[in-house]
Homo-oligomer: A and B are copies of this chain.
Amino acid sequence: MTTDLDRIDRRILAILQVDGRIAAVDLAERIGLSPTTTGERLRRLQKEGYVTGFAARVDPQRVGLGLLVFVEVLLDKTTPDVFDRFAAAIRRAPEVLECHMVAGGFDYLVKTRVADMAAYRRFLGDVLLSLPGVRETRTYAVMEEVKNDGPLPL
């Protein structure tokens, strides 16, 4: 159930992660099948949930979001719904690209993109620190993006 994918399916997924808009004709040629069969496989991969959608890669620098920042967040564990309220607020915040609850030294790891330090300062004060239950935050500004959106290994 977790993996009834054959070699061809995996190659299709690998290629589509790099070039999500490749024509079925070209994809077919690269995997050695006919365009028809390739289309059938792709449609099946979508229907069965392996491919959940397609997205354009937008250059953050070009649209004025030059600063990438990670924030570690610690919450007060007083009331049980603090986590839910925090998660709900994070989902509403457009500056937040990712947020994960982790096991270890802190509670949430937040990935955010903003224009510059001034914008981050505003985000920190207006959004993060104004949320109820936030006890402590640690900010790590990214100086160099070594690897950014690597494909899933298949």
- Chain A residues in the interface with B (C-beta under 8 A): 2-3, 5, 10, 13, 16-21, 48-65, 68, 70, 87, 90-91, 94-106, 108-109, 113, 138-154
Distance (Å) between the CB of A75 and the closest chain B CB? Answer: 12
How many of these chains are in the complex?
A: 2
Q: How far is the CA of A16 from the CA of B5 in the complex (A)?
A: 28
Residue of B nearest to A95 (CB): B153
Given contacts A13-B58, A55-B20, A62-B50, contact A96 B142 (CB under 8 A): no
Residue pair A90, B147 in contact (C-beta under 8 Å) = yes
Residue pair B56, A147 in contact (C-beta under 8 Å) = no
Contacting residues, chain B, for A145 (C-beta < 8 A): 98, 100-101
